[in-house]
Structure 1
Amino acid sequence: MSLLLLLRAHTAAFFERFGWAGIGLMLVLHFGISYALLFIAGEDHLLSCIDFLYFYCTTATTVGYGDMSPKSGLGKTITALWIMFGGIALLTTVIGKATTSVSVLWRRKMKGMGDYSTLTGHTVLIGWDGESSERIVELLSQDEASRGDEMVICDALTLENPMPGKASFVKGDSLDSPILLKRAGVSGAHRILVRTQSDNLTLAIVLTLKQLAPKGHVVAHFNDSERAALAKTYAPELECTSNMAIEMLVRSSQDPGSSIVIHELLCVGKGATQFRYVLPDGFSTNCGDLYIRLRKEFSATLIGYRALGSNEFDINPANAIEVRGGEIFYIASERLEGGSL
């Protein structure tokens, strides 16, 4: 018994050290020795390339169709004691190794140890705050602009993927680490959302993202409007939002129902919602004519215009303002298709 345990321990150590290369080497050796032994036994009818491969696979995997078999006693002994038992041992080793590899890979991704640096066209959510973050993921999955895009959640405190099956997950020691953000694939992401429990951390992440210069659109949320303004000063190309609860409270007291209107405009689902549309190159008109066209053709309402290359918005733009490319913001029940205008 001690000899068998010793053999098993050495075998396990061999495969642990050499992995799939060791298993492949053992398969080649077993295949070659099996052929040589049957050759010595005189089983010539089994030794053509195709016939032996077929016989070896069906015997080693214990399928045993029975249409091909050894004729001599020595050949039968070799088949029973070497090919069949050796094949079973190797087959169980392959299955065990494959199961372990898949399990380890799955656990690595669940623990946030995956690497999505080569991923493109996805959404990165930096920071996790329980139910509110789950709501963000749900809203992104409902809107047709982001529906179907792969999601990568990036956090430093969460131990495992908070939404397996709906999003991937990466974990690191600090959310403002360039290495962690690169592993989350911010370089190729279509959109990046930053929402943490600390404005200081959010500001540090914004500065790191500015250094990494991602191609996608970056939106960072701050609880303090002054911190949002500071972040905008350092990174004007990024979009920084702040908690508007106080402003909303005041506005609703002055104009009752304002909070309901704004909530509806931001809500994803049925009813009118605020959208953005990038105008095609060479598009030329004025805001008055564009307003009429949007109302007549799409039942949409123009509410804002930003000229090409500008960071300033014209909200409720005057009719005479010329439109030369750029982007518009509008209210409609459905998003305009890419070639609508």
Structure 2
Amino acid sequence: MSIFLLLRQVAATVLVRFTWMALVLAVLVHFAVAYIGLWYAGEKHLVGDPTTFFYFYITTAMTVGYGDLSPQGPAGRIFVAIWMMVGGIALLTAVIGKTTNSIIELWRRQVKGNGSFEKQSGHTVLIGWLGQSSEEIINLLHQDDVSNDHLIVICATGLDENPMGGRASFVRGENLSSPCLLARAGVSTAERVLIRTETDDQTLAVVLAVHKLQPRGHVVAHFSDSQKADLARSYAPGLECTSSMSVEMLVRSSQDPGSSELITELLTVGSGATQYRATLSPGIQWSFGELFASMKDRHNATVIAYKAEGEDRLLINPPSDTQVCAGEIFYIANKRIAGDI
């Protein structure tokens, strides 16, 4: 028995190194030879019905052996013992081993950040990892209806494993502005790309690299210095930049107490009123006053800004007689309005 198990182990170790095509071909050849061998050995009760033979082959190769089917003649028994049991067990063990190795390797690649999302589309990419603040970004993305059902990919350096396994996927590299790393993250086909790195210089470099890939989705980058943000916009006109407003917020809160609380509430997803964006249906012809009243009556939402289609300028609190057609609006509501307006 020990020699038999040793031969089985050696055969399985060799076979598991085969390619999938070679392994499948070996199984088919073994299956066919087993059928022909039993036929010529006179074991008609085992090969007369294809279903019966398939059942006998699997139970024998898997060493289950229920005992309800077995070869009756000496030739059949010798053939099964030599060909089916040794060869079948080794082949099926190799198939199981190779399948297990493939699953483990796929899991390891994803956890270690070596996977690729180039064929994904409509997902969210977060470039840069800053610990707790980046975790908060992932949590906020999951809270919003727009992004909570999409794949989120963290693109980072300096991490050995996925920092948020189960809530986001992960790719890693040596340089955040590397075209290869950004391609593996699926930046070109992502629905949204968020860039937040350790320094403004690094963020600027990533912005330029992302812009070169001509992403189809919306790109947002965070800068601590507003001048760096303006510089990034000059090189990537379609980029949306956020910058630290701590000084402006400090002054505004001193002049109009409660301003910081208001801004925080409008940007917080979860409970209470939040600021959202919606696209206007083609062919709509309203004044801003009519749109404002309709949104308030139908959705209890307050429209605060409008941007016409093809325009870069955002009109905040425009006059009531401003003509509104195709474009987008920004509004405040307790929940996001589904679909176009």
CA distances 1:127-181 after superposition (whole Å, capped 9, x unpaired): 1111111110110111111121111111122221111111111112211122211
Decide whether the 8 Å contact of 2:56 with 2:69 is kept in 1: yes
Distance in structure 2 (CA, Å) of the matches to 1:111 and 1:295: 49
1:329, distance to aligned residue in structure 2 (A):
1.0
Distance in structure 2 (CA, Å) of the matches to 1:248 and 1:137: 25
Structure 1 segment 140-219 matched on structure 2, within 5 A? 140-219=141-220
Structure 1 segment 38-117 matched on structure 2, within 5 A? 38-48=38-48, 50=50, 51-117=52-118
Distance in structure 1 (CA, Å) of the matches to 2:14 and 2:190: 42
- Secondary structure of the residue aligned to 1:220 is strand
Aligned to 2:31: 31
1:215, distance to aligned residue in structure 2 (A):
1.1
Decide whether the 8 Å contact of 1:15 with 1:22 is kept in 2: no
Greater alpha carbon shift after TM alignment, 301-310 vs 29-38: 29-38
1:231, distance to aligned residue in structure 2 (A):
0.7
Decide whether the 8 Å contact of 2:12 with 2:94 is kept in 1: no
1:39, distance to aligned residue in structure 2 (A):
4.1
Aligned to 2:328: 327
CA distances 1:35-81 after superposition (whole Å, capped 9, x unpaired): 45434533233333614333222222233343432111332233234
CA distances 1:186-232 after superposition (whole Å, capped 9, x unpaired): 12211111111111111111112221111111100111111011111
Aligned to 1:257: 258
Distance in structure 2 (CA, Å) of the matches to 1:23 and 1:210: 45
The TM-score, its normalising length taken from structure 1, stands at 0.91
Aligned to 1:139: 140
The TM-score, its normalising length taken from structure 2, stands at 0.91
Q: State the identity as a percent.
A: 52
Greater alpha carbon shift after TM alignment, 72-81 vs 156-165: 72-81
1:233, distance to aligned residue in structure 2 (A):
1.4
Greater alpha carbon shift after TM alignment, 266-275 vs 321-330: 321-330
Structure 1 segment 10-21 matched on structure 2, within 5 A? 12-13=13-14, 15-16=16-17, 18-21=18-21
Distance in structure 2 (CA, Å) of the matches to 1:43 and 1:75: 6
Greater alpha carbon shift after TM alignment, 200-209 vs 134-143: 200-209
Distance in structure 2 (CA, Å) of the matches to 1:291 and 1:28: 70
When the two structures are aligned, how many residues end up with a matched partner?
A: 339
1:83, distance to aligned residue in structure 2 (A):
1.9
Aligned to 2:300: 299
Structure 1 segment 123-138 matched on structure 2, within 5 A? 123-138=124-139
1:311, distance to aligned residue in structure 2 (A):
1.0
**Residues 130 and 43 of structure 1: is their aligned pair in 2 closer, same or farther, counting only changes over 3 Å?**
same
Distance in structure 1 (CA, Å) of the matches to 2:272 and 2:140: 15
Distance in structure 2 (CA, Å) of the matches to 1:116 and 1:128: 18
Distance in structure 2 (CA, Å) of the matches to 1:308 and 1:11: 64
Distance in structure 2 (CA, Å) of the matches to 1:67 and 1:82: 20
- Secondary structure of the residue aligned to 1:218 is strand
**Residues 122 and 200 of structure 1: is their aligned pair in 2 closer, same or farther, counting only changes over 3 Å?**
same
Decide whether the 8 Å contact of 1:264 with 1:273 is kept in 2: yes
1:114, distance to aligned residue in structure 2 (A):
1.0
Distance in structure 2 (CA, Å) of the matches to 1:61 and 1:224: 66
The one-letter amino acid paired with 1:178 is P
- Secondary structure of the residue aligned to 1:161 is coil
The one-letter amino acid paired with 2:67 is G
Aligned to 2:227: 226
Distance in structure 2 (CA, Å) of the matches to 1:139 and 1:266: 10
**Residues 289 and 29 of structure 1: is their aligned pair in 2 closer, same or farther, counting only changes over 3 Å?**
closer
- Secondary structure of the residue aligned to 2:176 is coil
Decide whether the 8 Å contact of 1:115 with 1:184 is kept in 2: yes
1:15, distance to aligned residue in structure 2 (A):
3.8
Please give the root-mean-square deviation of Cα atoms over the aligned residues, in Å. 2.4
**Residues 90 and 7 of structure 1: is their aligned pair in 2 closer, same or farther, counting only changes over 3 Å?**
closer
Unmatched runs of 5 consecutive residues or more in structure 1 = none
**Residues 306 and 59 of structure 1: is their aligned pair in 2 closer, same or farther, counting only changes over 3 Å?**
same
The one-letter amino acid paired with 2:253 is S
- Secondary structure of the residue aligned to 1:187 is helix
1:124, distance to aligned residue in structure 2 (A):
0.7
1:111, distance to aligned residue in structure 2 (A):
1.2
The one-letter amino acid paired with 2:203 is T
Distance in structure 1 (CA, Å) of the matches to 2:177 and 2:68: 66
